Amino acid sequence: MTYLVLKYLHVIGAVVLLGTGTGIAFFMLMAHLSRDAAFIARTAAVVVIADALFTATAAVAQPVTGYLLAQELAVPLTEDWVAASLVLYVVTGVFWLPVVWMQARMRDLARDAVTAGEPLPPRYHQLFRIWFVFGFPGFGSVIAILWLMIAKPVLWS
């Protein structure tokens, strides 16, 4: 029973990370393509909340439930696919944490542009480009981790 509960929570966490990440990326991109500062500001405000509520919660739950599952199944953390998943999890965090800050900053820059009745400033566009690029290794790592969890391959033994 403990195993099934842990596995369920771990899978739900993975789904939340993947789903929230996909949704956030889509909505931020669509808002950006609109070039409407007010729409961007509103979208980014919701995205920042979603990241705090969903992504951050799942990001904390994943290593906890993963560790407990490994203990329950007596799988060492040095097992190929587990070790690779842990490395990729760190990569995800290295790219996700700055993205959270960038989203909040882009929200603020868009709000300021609306208030001043001005176009989005160059800094907004610079942050968006970095945000966009950071999404590939961050999101790609999550996709790779999901594959590792499912396939459990032997990578280098």
pLDDT per residue, tens digit, the chain (157 aa), is: 799 999 999 999 999 999 999 999 999 999 999 999 999 999 999 999 999 999 999 999 999 999 999 999 999 999 999 999 999 999 999 999 999 999 999 999 999 999 999 999 999 999 999 999 999 999 999 999 999 999 999 998 6
pLDDT at residue 157 in the model = 66
Res 138: pLDDT: 94
Buried b / exposed e along 72-81 (16+ C-beta atoms within 10 A): eeeeeeebeb
Query: Which pLDDT score is estimated for 156?
Result: 87
Measured CA to CA, the distance from residue 94 to residue 136 in angstroms comes to: 12
**Confidence at residue 95, expressed as pLDDT on a 0 to 100 scale:** 96
Q: Degrees (nearest 5) of the Cα angle 10, 16, 19?
A: 140
Q: Residue 77 — φ and ψ, nearest 5°?
A: -65, -10
Q: Determine the distance from the C-alpha atom of residue 148 to the mean position of all C-alpha atoms in its chain, rounded to a whole number.
A: 17
- Report pLDDT for 1: 75
Where along the chain do its domains lie? Answer: 2-151
